[in-house]
Structure 1
């Protein structure tokens, strides 16, 4: 049996890998993930145990990180948006702590953009769908993701290798989960993300754009999930390699044309 390039590298070897949804979480650190302008009135607090929270100056946006190292998901990242301070959330998003940090950063960057756009317009972008739903998944189809539609009001998009997906519950109640994404085997994913009904579609689109980005993620070999390593390819090994002849996996073949309903 042919060995995979990652199997020939030292566990502490740093590599750049794709696809992103199988790369592992990377550095779990709230400040770089959130990257909010804390010098401009945003609040940040973190306990010795690692639990962290950040609030917008208007107190309508709240983001939290709750580490739970003993659980498979290692904790939860949460975004809550409130129409008025101290009221129930109008919408929410959750990510397992095992979600790739770069994807988390891109979603929170879009969240900040929505917040800043609201400050300079009459439109409340935090509570406006803004983007058509097809813009969330059209890029997935263009990258060769498989599409299934069921009669229960849901459509599901699967990665080309079958180790990740996005489920869109387009017929749902007002309090349910509209979008659910995962990386890894469906019955035992590495990570899961959930977007409630009324989450701005622009935010979900930023998530999928980051998910399928062709910019590799840098990881050490030991931090990459072992169960799905053979579905990864090494873009550019960095640092010292134990064997100068260690092969580098080629990029995957160009995806087939996206399927349509």
Structure 2
């Protein structure tokens, strides 16, 4: 990584694999793609933040003081006064980079129109096949599994992260408010006590899901402050110190200035070179 990029890193260790990095508890980067489109931002007296599209058909809540651990809740609507068409949740320990990947894809889809951000998965259309959301993980060696009846899963090679897809009918309201959703992404050693989790309801567009799995599957580690890492990270993840930036390479002007400041080198003619054939110096005249 170039030295100028190292100076911008917020952390002192790299965490690998990245799905064990945990949250930075900084919401601004993930809000950025939506605010850049001119979406409205409001907040309440508790510190919760609400971002809405101009037509109110997509809404995001950043809820550090919410009723549960669902820190990020994003919903889309066909009718701004009707029930959500789809909903996504990231809990308060989910890596912020995954949320940023989602909001970046959402901003792009919103600019394309409702056909993009309200397009439900459909196996009859190749560009909407739910498998497209799983493909980035398969390509990184994640293995298909079936941990429970009615659930298909794909698990990371180390067994510390899984993406689950539940078949059959699901309660639309429960999908929006609980972990009983069509898509369930989590990391850790236990699904009951995950290190973090994210959920997505049945009609969440495939492109938005794929943006998250692309980010999860990226082999690059994530920077974190070691003092802020959770105990499960230190036990399961690999932490590598981030080296300080190297000094910049000298420019031609730096070299020229250094040459000017350096004392002039003595020439060979200024220092006598004696040899066995050299005559001794003559004695000086007496006064």
TM-score range, shorter chain: 0.7 to 0.9
Deviation at 1:150, TM superposition (A): 6.4
Higher helix share: 2
- Distance of aligned partners of 1:77 and 1:37 in 2 relative to their CA distance in 1, 3 Å threshold: closer
The answer to which structure, 1 or 2, has the higher relative contact order (CA under 8 A, 6+ apart) is 1
Choose from 101, 109, 121 the match for 1:106: 101
Provide the residue aligned with 1:22 in structure 2. Answer: 20
TM-score, L = length of structure 2:
0.70
The 1-side partners of 2:88 and 2:34 are apart by: 21
List gaps (5 residues or longer) in structure 2: 1-9, 122-126, 176-180, 246-287
Deviation at 1:37, TM superposition (A): 5.0
Choose from 73, 92, 109 the match for 2:87: 92
* Cα displacement string for residues 139-193 of structure 1 (whole angstroms, at most 9, x for unaligned residues): 2122121211368332011111111111011333362421001111223111111
Choose from 154, 166, 183 the match for 1:179: 183
Choose from 195, 199, 219 the match for 1:190: 195
Residue 83 of structure 1 pairs with residue 78 of structure 2: yes
Q: Quick check: 2:195–2:232 contact (8 Å CA) kept in 1?
A: no
The 1-side partners of 2:118 and 2:131 are apart by: 18
The 1-side partners of 2:188 and 2:168 are apart by: 26
Choose from 239, 242, 251 the match for 1:237: 242
* Cα displacement string for residues 99-151 of structure 1 (whole angstroms, at most 9, x for unaligned residues): 00111101110011110111xxxx61111135321111122122121211368
Higher strand share: 1
The 5-angstrom pairing of residues 141-220 of structure 1 reads 141-149=138-146, 152-173=149-170, 175=172, 176=175, 177-186=181-190, 187-220=192-225
Aligned length: 222
SS at match of 2:159: coil
TM-score, L = length of structure 1:
0.76
Q: Quick check: 2:58–2:77 contact (8 Å CA) kept in 1?
A: yes
The 2-side partners of 1:102 and 1:209 are apart by: 11
